[in-house]
Amino acid sequence: MEWPPGPYEYAMFALLLMTIPIQRLLTRDEVHMRVPLRGLLDEIRDKGYWWHIALYVLMFLYKATIDHHNEPMKARVGGYTHWIHAIEGDWTLWVQETFSSDLLSDLLSAHYLFMYLFMIWFSPMYYILSRDEVMADKAALNYFVVYLLAVPMYLFFNVEVTSSFIPGMEAPLYHDEFTLAFFTTHDPMDNAVPSLHIGLPISLLILNRLHCRELGIEIKDWRHREFDIFVMANVAIYFFSIQYLGIHWVVDIIPGIILAIVCAMFCHSVQPIIRKTALEDWKELLPDRKQSIFAAVSVLLFSGVLIFGAIDGPGADEDIPNYRLGNGDVKLDTIEVHSLSHSVGVEIRNVGENSVEVMVVDRDQVVPYSDRGIIDWDSIIAESTMDSNFRLSSLAEGELLNTEVEIESLFDSYLVLLKVSESADGIAEVRITMDYVDDELMWSALLASWPSFIIFGFVVEGYFNRSKQIESDDIADVDSR
């Protein structure tokens, strides 16, 4: 089987290639604090960085588990893209059309794909190579914790990317010959809320400031100030690119920032305990009575919201579209591989007023006809080799297509393509629902959400505890006068 380099391989190669040069550039004023490459393994052993590596391995496995839950659950939890669209409308379409440029699309696509992976890897590596074990701990925790916090929303509050829901919105990053296979394999494209492209670096910036406050210095005087500016510059680019590329809604940024605040507060408070114990005395990490109560209340409260509000809730209404498209648009959804012994049920319902064309096709037949956000529908049909799973249908208003896709290999990948019928004039609205063999994953998904609720409870307890401490100190100060 051929394995040609793709977006991920190129990104990882660039990531490894650029780590040392960028770290050396940012630390050019403190050469004496650099860890030489020949001493890196000794530094990892001496500073106990083994648990950072374990954390990233655990994160890889945990994310794979969450991704396995995502699609099968959608039949029961549905989606809330229509809520987000009702709040902000077509703002991101205006951004894309106003600044549209092939060069800008290429630059922002490369930045979006590479820099997020680079930030995940480079943040702890920068601090490790700069002999700052405290911030290396916090940077590693930051990636793990911010994703934990996002899991309940990713699983129970599905929101499609803007290019799937806003008519006329292109997806120059997703619908491209070079990247289409990568993103349809690795990106659910309905995890828009919250935006971790904003949440993760913002959380790191907050951690930097909490650390400086603890040191009693201004951020401008901190020895890692240039790295802090580097992160801020990339956040600024992300604020624009996630809207321009047809990915995130503006509203997505708000929960991303909220999660960043919670994540930073938790990582800042728990890091000294982890560094002190080096995970040798795990009992030191157990919560006290107050923390346990707040965590338990948080778990019960948010679990109740998910059980009684999200499962079979308003997002699962079969008359609500999860795809909207205008004349000339081609939108896509991915049929994932979950079982080789059971077919995937595909239900496509036209819930709008205009007829829509539907195609179920092998992804390999779509890739050559995708370029900078445009998918050439006619060429796919003309050149496609129609296998047993190929479907081509037209759905009038209110019509429903029920079909099955047989999965024969782990490397099979099929797409559902949508297009407004030639005879129609206006916006088409479609609801796609996949029926997987493992569609009853609610309880394990709920369990996977508990770490998020527990962390939130700890942070709330810490906030109230600090507030009471400040109040007591103020009273004591007044009495002393």
The tens digit of pLDDT for each residue in 408-429 reads 888 888 999 999 998 888 899 9
Q: What is the per-residue pLDDT for 469?
A: 54
Other beta carbons within 10 Å of 355: 17
Domain spans in the chain, listed from the N-terminal domain onward: 7-288, 323-435
Determine whether domain 323-435 maps to CATH 3.10.450.
no
Q: What is the per-residue pLDDT for 460?
A: 92
Mean pLDDT for the chain overall? 89
**Dihedral angle computed from the Cα positions of residues 304, 308, 311 and 314, in that order, rounded to the nearest 10 degrees:** -130
What's the rounded Cα separation, in Å, for the pair 223 and 203?
19
> pLDDT at residue 476 above 50?
no
Q: What is the per-residue pLDDT for 279?
A: 59
Question: How does pLDDT run across 108-124, given as a tens digit for each residue?
Answer: 998 998 888 888 999 99
Q: What is the per-residue pLDDT for 475?
A: 46
> pLDDT at residue 363 above 80?
yes
What's the rounded Cα separation, in Å, for the pair 23 and 21?
6
What's the rounded Cα separation, in Å, for the pair 271 and 289?
20
> pLDDT at residue 468 above 70?
no
Question: How does pLDDT run across 161-185, given as a tens digit for each residue?
Answer: 999 999 999 999 888 888 898 888 8
Percent of the chain beyond pLDDT 70?
A: 94
Task: Summarize the confidence of residues 142-148 as an average pLDDT.
Answer: 95
Among 93, 178, 213, CA closest to 372: 178
Among 318, 331, 314, 315, CA closest to 428: 331
What's the rounded Cα separation, in Å, for the pair 367 and 357?
19
3-state secondary structure of 331: strand
> pLDDT at residue 313 above 50?
yes
Question: How does pLDDT run across 41-96, given as a tens digit for each residue?
Answer: 999 999 989 899 999 999 989 998 998 898 889 889 999 999 999 999 999 999 99
Q: What is the per-residue pLDDT for 192?
A: 87
Q: Is pTM, for the whole model, over 0.85?
A: yes
Question: How does pLDDT run across 12-36, given as a tens digit for each residue?
Answer: 888 889 999 999 999 998 899 999 9
What is the DSSP code string of 365-376? GTGGGEETTEE-
